[in-house]
Amino acid sequence: MARAFRVYYPALPLVAEHAPHRSVYVGDADGRCQVFAWDRAAGTARQVTDRAAGTTRAAVDPGGTVVWWFDDDLTGIGTWQVSDFDQPEHPRPALPGLGPARPAGLAMAADGTALVGLADADGVALYRRAASGGVEPVARMSGYAHLVDVDPTGQLLVVGRDAASPEAVTVLTTGGDPVAVLPAGPDRRLWPLGFAPVPDPAHLLLVVEESGEYGLASWTRADGLTRHPGRFDTEITAGWYPDGTRVLVRQDRHAGSHLHRVDLATGTRTAVPTPAGSILDAAVWPDGDIAYVWTDSATPPQIRSVAGVELPAGPDDGPADGAVSLAEYCRRTEVWVPGPAGDIHALVAAPADRAGPLPAVFLVHGGPFQHARDAYDPLVEVLVRTGCAVVRVNYRGSSGYGAAWRNDFRAGVGLTQLEDLAAVRAHLCEQGVIAERRVALWGSSWGGYLTLLALGRQPDLWRLGVAVNPVADYVAAFAAATPAIRALDTTLFGGTPDEVPQRYAEASPVSYVDQVSVPVFLAVATDDVRCPPAPVERYAGALLRRRIPVKLLRTRAGHEDFDARGHIALMQAVLLFMQQHFDGVRDEGTSVALAMARPAD
């Protein structure tokens, strides 16, 4: 029997600062992400893009007259296009004369002047586009960098680099002249967030990680960096209120989220009421209303407003037609398990009609600095329907548990995380929740990497592995990576493969491929530049030569696939593979229909 589930791509509308009734957002159009222009006053939402691979990057100018969107190929390389808000069907190049590149930031001043960052293999080039359409080069920066914001007057811009680097934050004039460099280091990380909407002086908001806590800071040309009172024990991000004196702070804490209104001068913190669960994004709109994307483990993401403004009607918030609510058939619990470096938090979902010990699938989150949330995941719903328990572990490196947890890789990259996965597995087996000999791993991206590493390093613990767009060989992946990925890897490993070869070798799944003894499902994307497919294909070949059951699925996509049909095909292929090779999976799980809801008319 087919079951209907839903895949969602919710995102907050981006509001035109001086025309707040106009905004753009990314919504669903026949199973693909596309850009829509929404006029709240007129009550209309018009589709701007209709690209086969979908479109996920968009912006609107402060006056609400021009829509920006990025026209990229599957590798992420492309060009910015602009369309008139009222006539989106006639796009034109935003930066005529410039070739394709990777996007590295887009910011706009109050008069419509746009600052654009474009990245290539050598670094990032910054350009200024006047509201009239003229384009001028501003500066070029080597290595990894990204444009964060421009101040409302169009005089200053800010560029971010690695948060722990001596050049973590750089402020330039929009003519390219250096103004300030704000240094950081391993014991004091620094993230720039954006300029206040109120000019004179230009007031830059930042987050500082220091002494294991997170705080707010600001910078002005006259006063330099100022630390503000108040500290948070877990990761935060923030955005300005329109008055330029208060900020909205979104805090990820454990598997949930909280919103706070903070007065920068006094440090006074006021909770913004939201339901328990996760806030995936939040922003203060020009009229002072707070819009946010909310979800919990049983509820697909919803766009909400504190003031109750009716927002674009995206996906249906309830279950698909004819489906039973997830809360009715799924038993959800949370556990804290003693581990090598402290208690490990894990989310457990299990069929309400089955007692343990159950076959289990560990869904390994990507990252490395993400975390498993109290948030809806269609994979959890599908796997619980098959009769499996689903375990999501917030191993070391996960955000939401403080700086010490997030930065702990003491046993080595990947190896530290495997210690925590094994500890949670052992605890749940001892408690009779999951069956000792029927535990599988499933992960995408960095989660897929950890899956392959665990199958080789801990061959006695896992009975099947599913790795979607994983890293199989860290050295080969580094050689093919973008500057941003190389910067991340260099930070994680403390150097490049030439500088610390042993660390890369110890962390690479290919080093342990001969120890893998269980069935493995591998999926690769032809145009994936984050986790290149060739090393994964070689890894699959090594398994086949040893007669290990392996399935290799190739998809025509980039690292992120924004076409729901791809997700459906992948999920059905994996479930069939599990039914063949993993004891305890119910037959009904192999027939899955995933429905995509449509955006507002």
Q: What's the pTM value of the predicted model, to 2 decimals? A: 0.91
Question: Facing residues of 441 across strands?
Answer: 362, 465
Residues 168-178, buried b or exposed e (16+ Cβ, 10 A)? Answer: bbbbbebeeee
Quick check: 326 pLDDT over 70? Answer: no
| Secondary element (H or E) of residue 180 | strand 178-182
| Strand boundaries in 445-578, DSSP class E | 464-468, 520-525, 550-555
Please tell me the predicted confidence (pLDDT) of residue 312. 67
C-alpha span between 488 and 170 (Å, rounded): 19
Instruction: For the chain, give the mean pLDDT.
Output: 90
Which of 4-8, 81-85, 279-283 has the lowest average pLDDT? Answer: 4-8
DSSP strand pairing (188-195 vs 204-210): antiparallel
Quick check: 589 pLDDT over 60? Answer: no
* Closest by Cα among 266, 248, 245 to 257: 248
Which of 328-332, 363-367, 428-432, 487-491 has the lowest average pLDDT? Answer: 328-332
Residues 6+ apart with CB under 8 A from 580: none
Quick check: 29 pLDDT over 90? Answer: no
List, as one string, the DSSP characters of 423-477: HHHHHHHHTTSEEEEEEEEEEETHHHHHHHHHHHHSTTT-SEEEEES--S-HHHH
**Model confidence pLDDT, tens digit, residues 134-170:** 999 999 999 899 999 999 999 999 999 999 999 999 9
| Secondary element (H or E) of residue 218 | strand 213-220
**Model confidence pLDDT, tens digit, residues 406-450:** 999 999 999 999 999 999 999 999 999 999 999 999 999 999 999
Quick check: 233 pLDDT over 80? Answer: yes
**Model confidence pLDDT, tens digit, residues 483-502:** 888 888 998 999 999 999 99
Which of 154-158, 282-286, 597-601 has the lowest average pLDDT? Answer: 597-601
Q: What is the dihedral of CA 562, 564, 569, 571, to 10 degrees?
A: 90
C-alpha span between 327 and 369 (Å, rounded): 29
* Closest by Cα among 526, 525, 522, 533 to 476: 533
- In the chain, what are the domains? 326-588 (3.40.50.1820)
CA distances from 95 to 117, 139, 291 (A): 11, 16, 31
SS3 content of the chain, % helix, strand, coil (to 5): 20, 40, 40
**Model confidence pLDDT, tens digit, residues 265-275:** 898 999 999 99
| Residue 6 banded pLDDT, cuts 50, 70, 90 | low
